[in-house]
Structure 1
Amino acid sequence: MKKTILYLAAAGFCLMACKPGGETKTIAPPDSAAIKMINESSFAEHIRVLASDEFQGRKPFTAGETKSINYLRAQFSRLGLKPGNGDSYFQEVPMVELKSVPESKMIFKGAAGGEVTANYLTDFVAGTRRVQPAVSLNNSDLVFAGYGIVAPEFKWNDYAGLDVKGKTVVVMINDPGFADSTLFRGKNMTYYGRWTYKFEEAARQGAAGILIIHDTEPAAYPWSVVRSGWSKSKLQAEEKDNNMSRAIVEGWISMDIARSLLKLGGQSEAIFAAAHKPGFKAVDLKLHTSLKITNTIKKSISNNVVAIIPGTKRPQENIIYSAHWDHLGIGEKVNGDSIYNGAVDNATGVAALLELAAAFQKSAHRPERSVVFVSFTGEEQGLIGSEYYAKHPVYPVGKTVANINMDMMGIAGRTRDIVVYGYGQSDLEDYAEVSAKKQGRVIVRDPVPSSGLYYRSDHFNFAKVGIPALFTGSGVDNIQHGRAWGLKQVADYTKSRYHSPQDNFDAITDRSGMVEDVRLLFDTGYRLSMETSFPKWKEGSEFKAIREKK
């Protein structure tokens, strides 16, 4: 950190950036007053407020949303940032809240007799995206469809020759690379491994239902996370067809229930290993199930919060910093607490957004490109706010230079490293590497690449429309305690606090790593704001062709 401050304070020191054609341009570094705006005291205060019980877990459509977005508007206004959506700080996002309540038991019956009973929340969770008062599965046949993936570029199709209309597909989480590093991208999970993709693909195939088998290691989170997320109302974007194109029932089952189903259907667990291999053919489990789900429906408007610092020379071009303000609200009690405060996830990211805004405002050398700050709604419900923004951009996609997203920061304290998720995707990681070196730090790849975090936060929706997106995470090589200690902090957070009421402000005892990470991201974004060139996707990125079409 001292190296960073000395670098920024050094008079006459300049950053050299390349213009197209190899010409260099002298860029003045941000001054020390600007970088000092990113400090532990104000950072902590923002986290404390946003993660307080008063904000009720910051769920959209609640009083917690009103408090959250008004707090952001007030802070941006206090800092002197202009409204980012015309004369408003808000971008309205039409959404639907569904409280789906399935029957308490899901019974699976064998064609030759016998049955398996799964209990709601303990053994299965289920809901629907269809905006109807009630939906039902009726004697739907079960088919084990491996990973439930159709990926032409990897020559993989779990639905090949399979008609699943009216049927319920049972699929595994993650993708084949998790089991065999020679397949897909090895341990680096692709979007095909995400539960959201599996639900989408089942709908495209015409399935009536889909059940994902939970397995902690490839899912990267325990059953308690699935349970907490599905035990309360869920939000989704409002669609013209009321999501009638989606499967009737979407849900998860525990591994224990999956094993019982295989046994009842006369299959062994060897079917899982078979599904890891190319050419796997789906298996009729010779079981059927029924389930009724009732819905409480509420349609309303949530809000993204948008603020801007206009560029001095190229205001039509912009860099977007983002962090979602929402969390899970109030839900099931865990250890006597029912408020899911979301201190790390993601009051830290929102605090970082405000710290960055303060730093850019204080900089003596104003950014030549516009710098936009967006706090999204509905990330926890499936990246809804960022998806809406990507489909209804406030600023043109083709003029958006980059997105820098912040989510769940500084879990392992001050570290020698900083993680870049989706390493190898774009030039932005090279920018981040330059900024890291100024702090005497190094860029590292995701230590748990099978978790697929590059596809699990709001930057993903920028990438999907071709905008280079950088998502960094907490380093793990703690300066005082080392890498093993840092990895343990991340594992403990995932196991004990992630998506639980225990993710609260008091549990964050060390914010020094967060401050240093935000200073790094400020340096990266500042450089981008002063350049004339656009960062590019790297060869092999699935997003490269999208950008080049723009």
Structure 2
Amino acid sequence: MVRHALLFSFVLALASCGGGEPAAPTSAGGPDPNPSIKPAPVQPTSEGHSTPAITAEDFAAHLRKLSSDQFEGRKPGTLGERVTTAYIKDQFERVGLKPGNNGNWFQTVPMVSTTLLDPASVHITVKGASVTSRFNLGTDAVIGTLNGSVEVDLKDSGIVFAGYGVTAPGWDDYAGIDVKGKTLIVLVNDPGWGNHDADLFKGPALTYYGRWTYKFEEAARHGAAALFIVHETAGAGYPWSVVENGWSGPRFSLPANQDRAPRLVTAGWLSEQAATKLFADAGADFAALKKSADLRGFKASVVDATLSVGYRSKVETTSSENVIGVVPGAQRADEAIVYTAHWDHLGTDARLDGDPVYNGAIDNATGVAGIIEIAEAFAHQATPPQRSVVFAAVTLEESGLLGSQYLVEHSPWALERIAANINLDALPMHGPSRNVTAIGYGQSTLDDDLIEAAKTQGRIVVADDEPEKGFFFRSDHANFARAGIPALYASSGQDLVEGGLAAGRKAADDYTANRYHKPSDNYDPDWDYRGVIADLELLYTVGRTLADESRFPQWKPGADFSRPAPGAK
């Protein structure tokens, strides 16, 4: 008991706010009227006192705090989680929110933690037509169990190339082949991506069928023992290092009684180089098989090779926390606008030389700092919103959007009464932009609300110029959309006031290549906050408009989703 009391005191000490005078309000709207003049770097104020306005000083203070080493990379199930969730709850309470989960600040999300024991000893052995090859974890492959198996011993499992691993209306990569007990190798993204077929699925735009979570579930649904996705940076939207880092250390899932989707005994990824070698050793041409997977009439094929692998895992049932606050609606408190941002990141890795902490400054301390600022703006308006406005800092996004999945499935508000979700994730820190990128543009009438709000800032709204990366399915708004609730995921576009599209593209590419899911995603005191503050004001405006109206945003004709039926929970 003493040890627990000391730990709790330590967490509160780290999460508590210092004293100091309130920050002076700043003027931060749309593009700077004098874009050649860059303001001096913002010096964060004490986190304990903020002005009701959305300001760069307050945002920077939260951002610096959340991405500091004392938060230990915000890994679920660690001391870093306790510090993080205590800090967010403290800030929600300080700015004037009420507990948002039926009178509680926290929503406990049950989770299963699975950790590969002695990864260095795990080798994937493939016996081909004439060669036996071994593939090492990290450089060649990543692997893990998805069904909670403590011990896996897969021997001489036949290998099948199953294209993209998709079963969809008008397309079935599993047609005509029995894959029970087999090891499947599939491609990343959707059918038609490899040959740029604009008439397959949604052309260049990745759909849910291209998501790794779907591919694993579909393979398990067909009775496969294992599935490996072949990584390609262009098709995945991120480099191999992101896969490697994401599969190191504990992996998390919801318990089977909370998520009844089928689960594989073994799942993982292969690097493109490893896959090419595997097929070559089996006497097959991987490049030719890839091309065939994009053609109508594709048939899965047996590879002249078998796979064997054995490993043990530590499996623990534990929990993590969503943090939920609310500004109650003055007229229709049973209706809600829900802002979300995931607080979790990748924690620490003692094996790394130098900096071992994945601080996740942009991903996603920016989003959490953002909803705290927007929450304060709502809580301090003279006229309260007519609908309730909910602020949810969710967990386990990095593990497959699990915290928001649980939130949607155990929502304190009936799903049919949630007007919209507005999600903040990895806000760009590139300075002011002339445009706003709406991920999934064209899906719902929320685009129209965004366009009207952007006009007040002198900005235009554009569609995502990298639809093949599937951003619409890679953050927490996707769970709201899948439940039928229109969702908005938008932030500064790449047409920067200073440098135009070339500068915006360079900055975005640099982040993906050098910072995304790496320890180098650190707080930078030289960031230009004008663009991100404009984004927060924009998303506040959209939410405030929706909170004061009686209409419900709708999906547009041809959208992938539909509104939940009356009585949905």
Determine the structure 2 residue equivalent to 1:143. Answer: 160
Does the CA contact (< 8 Å) of 1:35 and 1:519 recur in 2? no
Matches of 2:507 and 2:351, distance apart in 1 = 24
Does the CA contact (< 8 Å) of 2:415 and 2:564 recur in 1? no
Structure 1: runs of 5+ lacking an equivalent:
7-33
Determine the structure 1 residue equivalent to 2:184. Answer: 169
**Among candidates 69, 86, 98, match of residue 53 of structure 1:** 69
Q: What is the identity, as a one-letter code, of the residue corresponding to 2:179? A: V
Secondary structure in 2 matching 1:69: helix
Q: CA deviation at 1:331?
A: 1.9
Matches of 1:85 and 1:328, distance apart in 2 = 26
Determine the structure 1 residue equivalent to 2:79. Answer: 63
Matches of 1:4 and 1:106, distance apart in 2 = 53
Does the CA contact (< 8 Å) of 2:332 and 2:386 recur in 1? yes
Determine the structure 2 residue equivalent to 1:310. Answer: 328
Deviation digits for residues 140-189 of structure 1, max 9, x if unmatched? 0100000000111xx11100111100100000000124232221101111
Matches of 1:342 and 1:147, distance apart in 2 = 31
Matches of 2:526 and 2:216, distance apart in 1 = 35
Does the CA contact (< 8 Å) of 2:485 and 2:563 recur in 1? no
Matches of 1:507 and 1:420, distance apart in 2 = 28
**Among candidates 496, 500, 504, match of residue 514 of structure 2:** 496
Structure 2: runs of 5+ lacking an equivalent:
1-26, 33-49
Q: What is the identity, as a one-letter code, of the residue corresponding to 1:161? A: G
Matches of 1:157 and 1:35, distance apart in 2 = 56
**Among candidates 431, 436, 444, match of residue 449 of structure 2:** 431
Q: What is the identity, as a one-letter code, of the residue corresponding to 1:186? A: G
Determine the structure 2 residue equivalent to 1:201. Answer: 218
Does the CA contact (< 8 Å) of 2:484 and 2:562 recur in 1? yes
Does the CA contact (< 8 Å) of 1:320 and 1:371 recur in 2? yes
Does the CA contact (< 8 Å) of 1:131 and 1:244 recur in 2? no
Determine the structure 1 residue equivalent to 2:101. Answer: 85
Q: CA deviation at 1:117?
A: 1.8
Deviation digits for residues 16-59 of structure 1, max 9, x if unmatched? xxxxxxxxxxxxxxxxxx99711100000000000000000001
Matches of 1:548 and 1:129, distance apart in 2 = 34
Q: CA deviation at 1:278?
A: 1.3
5 Å-filtered alignment, 1:6-155, equals 37-101=53-117, 102=119, 103-110=121-128, 112-152=129-169, 155=170
Matched, 1:389 2:407: yes
Change beyond 3 A, Cα 1:404–1:368: same
Does the CA contact (< 8 Å) of 1:408 and 1:473 recur in 2? no
Does the CA contact (< 8 Å) of 1:136 and 1:248 recur in 2? no
Matches of 1:186 and 1:460, distance apart in 2 = 20
Change beyond 3 A, Cα 1:548–1:310: closer
Change beyond 3 A, Cα 1:443–1:335: farther
Matches of 2:479 and 2:433, distance apart in 1 = 29
Normalising to structure 2: TM-score of the pair?
0.88
5 Å-filtered alignment, 1:359-398, equals 359-398=377-416
Matches of 1:378 and 1:310, distance apart in 2 = 26
Does the CA contact (< 8 Å) of 2:29 and 2:533 recur in 1? no
Secondary structure in 2 matching 1:379: coil
Q: What is the identity, as a one-letter code, of the residue corresponding to 1:349? A: G
Change beyond 3 A, Cα 1:229–1:170: same
Does the CA contact (< 8 Å) of 1:47 and 1:348 recur in 2? yes
Q: CA deviation at 1:533?
A: 0.7
Secondary structure in 1 matching 2:450: helix
Matches of 1:186 and 1:549, distance apart in 2 = 36
Q: What is the identity, as a one-letter code, of the residue corresponding to 2:302? A: D
Q: CA deviation at 1:130?
A: 1.9
Matched, 1:248 2:268: no
Matched, 1:466 2:481: no
**Among candidates 260, 265, 275, match of residue 277 of structure 2:** 260
Quote the sequence identity (%).
45
Provide the alpha-carbon RMSD of the alignment: 2.0
Does the CA contact (< 8 Å) of 1:184 and 1:190 recur in 2? yes
Q: Aligned residue pairs: how many?
A: 520
Change beyond 3 A, Cα 1:46–1:241: closer
Does the CA contact (< 8 Å) of 2:226 and 2:264 recur in 1? yes
Change beyond 3 A, Cα 1:3–1:500: closer
Matched, 1:228 2:237: no
Deviation digits for residues 316-355 of structure 1, max 9, x if unmatched? 1110001001111012655611100000000000000000
Matched, 1:336 2:354: yes
Higher relative strand content = 1
Point out the more displaced range, 327-336 or 299-308.
Answer: 327-336
Normalising to structure 1: TM-score of the pair?
0.91
Secondary structure in 1 matching 2:198: coil
Matches of 2:238 and 2:410, distance apart in 1 = 32
Q: CA deviation at 1:489?
A: 0.5
Matches of 1:314 and 1:157, distance apart in 2 = 46
Matches of 2:407 and 2:374, distance apart in 1 = 21
Matches of 1:516 and 1:114, distance apart in 2 = 59
Secondary structure in 1 matching 2:356: strand
Does the CA contact (< 8 Å) of 1:5 and 1:35 recur in 2? no
Secondary structure in 2 matching 1:457: coil
